[in-house]
Amino acid sequence: MQSLYFYLLSTVAILAALGMIFQKHPLNAAAYLVVCFLGLSGLYASLSAPLLAILQILVYAGAIMALVVFVIMLLNVREEDLPHEPNMLWNVGGALVLALGLFVILSKAIHTVTAAPADTATLVQNYGAHPDGSPLFGGIQSVGMHLFNQFVFPFEIISILLTVAVVGVVVLAKRRI
């Protein structure tokens, strides 16, 4: 059953990524990217990394996608500037991929919650650590230790890169207005 979830979620993520690449309308591409992020979140959940799954949804599907949609709207792309998309197959395919992805993710989440071990309260109380003190994969302690010890420099570089990208888009958009 675990491999079935993996194949379904990875297929959803790959198809959504391909849909995002081949989509000509920027908002449709952003919607495909959200589906891809949700598929990745389901993969994290299937690996028993609930914190990473929730962070994938909150940070990427939520905050980063809000930033991407904000930038798309700030560019003020008119409908006549976009290429014509005569093929409705991508839109129907995208809706099917979205429905399948959401179904698989929700079923995996329900299965994970209902099959949780009895000592989950102890694990949550220890902030993602085993009772012996070793960090869990994907738990709060493990992610925090890796993020702020080994990957603090790339974390800060990415935040600077995102800030520069937003400032660049604002400057480019102001020239057009």
Residues 113 and 91: their CA atoms lie apart, in Å, by 33
**Mean pLDDT for back-to-back runs of 10 residues, the chain (177 residues):** 82 88 83 87 81 82 81 72 60 71 70 58 49 60 78 86 84 72
Q: How many CB atoms are closer than 10 A to CB 20? A: 18
Domain boundaries, the chain: 1-116, 118-177
1.10.10.10, 3.30.70.20, 1.20.120.1200, 3.40.140.10: CATH of 1-116 = 1.20.120.1200
Structure tokens at 89: 């197959």
Whether pTM > 0.85 for this model: the answer is: no
Residues 73 and 149: their CA atoms lie apart, in Å, by 37
Contact 122, 136 (CB under 8 A): no
Residues 25 and 94: their CA atoms lie apart, in Å, by 13
pLDDT score, position 109: 66
**Beta-bridge partners for 135:** 129
Contact 9, 104 (CB under 8 A): yes
- 124: amino acid identity, one letter: V
Q: At what angle do helices 26-46 and 89-114 cross, to 10 degrees?
A: 30
User: What burial class does residue 159 get, using C-beta atoms within 10 Å of its C-beta: 0-12 exposed, 13-18 middle, 19+ buried?
Assistant: exposed
Structure tokens at 173: 């958009």
3-state secondary structure of 144: helix
